[in-house]
Amino acid sequence: MQQSNILPKERMMWRLAVLGGAGAAACWIESSWERKHFVREIYELSSPKLTEEKTFVFLSDLHDNRFGPGQRRLLSAIDRIKPDAVLIGGDMMVVKEKADVTDTLFLVRKLTGKYPVYYGNGNHESRMDRKRKVYGDKYDLFVRELEKTGVCYLSDTSVMLPGPIRLSGLNLEKRYYKKRAGSDMEVSYIEERLGAAKEDVFQILLAHSPLYGRTYARWGADLTLSGHFHGGTIRIPGLGGLMTPQFHFFLDCCCGCLKTGDKTMIVSRGLGTHSVNIRLNNRPELTVVRLKPEITAEREGGRG
């Protein structure tokens, strides 16, 4: 009988290498599939400040990802929801090298043909503005093209919506994207850009990074909509998101609905990836926010 020349230890290492390679290939195949198949996440909130029901779709961190030709699957899903408006939380493109905004503008034009659209900045939009030596007037051209579509561009500005709702878009400076978890922001930073929050209406804040959720709440945001962390890239049951694209590990604010007293922050897992192009157990998210009036004793008495 011919005996193998591979020693038992070497044979075991070879088998482990084969298994490891097969496991890595399976993870890559799963990740590739997940990145192209989003799920709809629905959040329902009520407030005594609201006088009527509203449904919003929230889009964040698309990073030029495509869901079918002409974004057909994404647009069809939004049409089925029939939102009162589409809110965009930034990072719809990847601003590196060319900073191509073609896909972003295409999607926005399709949306504004059917819905009111409100657009807030993420760090990639802000990078175009900040690095003008690299991108020239690309940011100004992008904003002008957005406004031509009918978008309401919320760059450190606020608008009033029926509800009554005040919707505000906050720009975060580079230093707030560079800070690590646990770093704080002063309420004065928000007040300098947006003024004081309106206490008598429902205040929604578009703020791309969720690291400063407590500050957003202290400012007065009844609802903050954030993204930025892509759900933690790889989600591990019982532990949460493994790692953000900024290399924060196991942050509790990677995604989902977070409460600070009576204030709420919803963090989208986002619709795309960049740099770390991996998603495992972490499908892209189409976020739906349903707002309803809360029946208080005062209102109940008024009905009588």
Question: What phi, psi does 30 have (nearest 5°)?
Answer: -65, -45
**178-182, 237-241, 296-300, range with greatest mean pLDDT:** 237-241
Q: Where does the pLDDT of residue 32 fall: very low under 50, low under 70, confident under 90, or very high at 90 and above?
A: confident
Per-residue pLDDT averaged across 44-57, rounded? 97
DSSP H stretches of helix in 195-246: 213-219
Q: From CA 51, how far away is CA 186, in angstroms rounded?
A: 31
Q: At what angle do helices 138-149 and 123-130 cross, to 10 degrees?
A: 130
What CA–CA distance (Å, rounded) separates 186 from 184?
Answer: 7
Give the confidence band of 71 by pLDDT, cuts at 50, 70, 90.
very high
Q: What is the mean pLDDT of residues 48-77?
A: 97
pLDDT higher for 298 or 87? 87
pLDDT for residue 47 is more than 70: yes
Q: For the whole model, what pTM was predicted?
A: 0.89
Q: What sections of 40-181 are H helices per DSSP? A: 72-81, 102-112, 123-130, 132-135, 138-149, 174-178
Percentage with pLDDT > 70 across the chain: 87
In contact, 217 and 260? CB cutoff 8 Å: yes
- The answer, yes or no, to whether residue 3 has pLDDT greater than 60, is no
Peptide bond just before 237 cis, omega within 30 deg: no
Predicted confidence band at 197 (pLDDT cuts at 50, 70, 90)?
very high
Q: What is the mean pLDDT of residues 275-299?
A: 86
Average pLDDT on 11-36 reads 72
Q: Which of 10-14, 244-248, 266-270 has the lowest mean pLDDT?
A: 10-14
Pick left, alpha or beta for residue 105 (phi over 0 → left; psi -120 to 50 → alpha; otherwise beta). Answer: alpha
pLDDT value of residue 296: 64
44 near 293, Cβ under 8 Å?
no
Give the closest residue to 84 by CA, choosing from 116, 40, 43, 118. 116
Q: How far is CA 39 from CA 51, 186, 228, in A?
A: 30, 35, 18
- Residue 161's Cβ-side half-sphere holds a number of Cα atoms within 13 Å equal to 26
Binning pLDDT at 50, 70 and 90, where does residue 304 land?
A: very low
- What is the radius of gyration, based on Cα positions, of the chain? 22
pLDDT tens for residues 95-145?
987 789 999 999 999 999 999 999 999 999 999 999 988 999 999 999 999
On whether the CB atoms of residues 58 and 291 are closer than 8 A, the answer is: no
Nearest to 262 by CA among 301, 294, 302: 294
Look at strands 285-293 and 54-59 and give their pairing. antiparallel
Of residues 253, 184, 247, 177, the one with CA closest to residue 212: 184
* Residue 24 pLDDT greater than 90, yes or no: no
Residues in the chain: 304
Mean pLDDT, range 183-187, rounded to an integer: 85
The answer to whether the CB of 265 falls within 8 A of the CB of 223 is yes
Asked if 176 contacts 135 with a C-beta cutoff of 8 angstroms, the reply is no
pLDDT of residue 6: 55
Residue 37: φ, ψ to 5°: -135, 95
Q: Which domains does the chain have, with CATH numbers?
A: 10-295 (3.60.21.10)
Judged by average pLDDT, the poorest of 87-91, 187-191, 235-239 is 235-239
Is residue 73 within 8 A of residue 106, CB to CB? The reply is no
At 230, list the tokens.
């892509």
Mean of the per-residue pLDDT values of the chain: 89
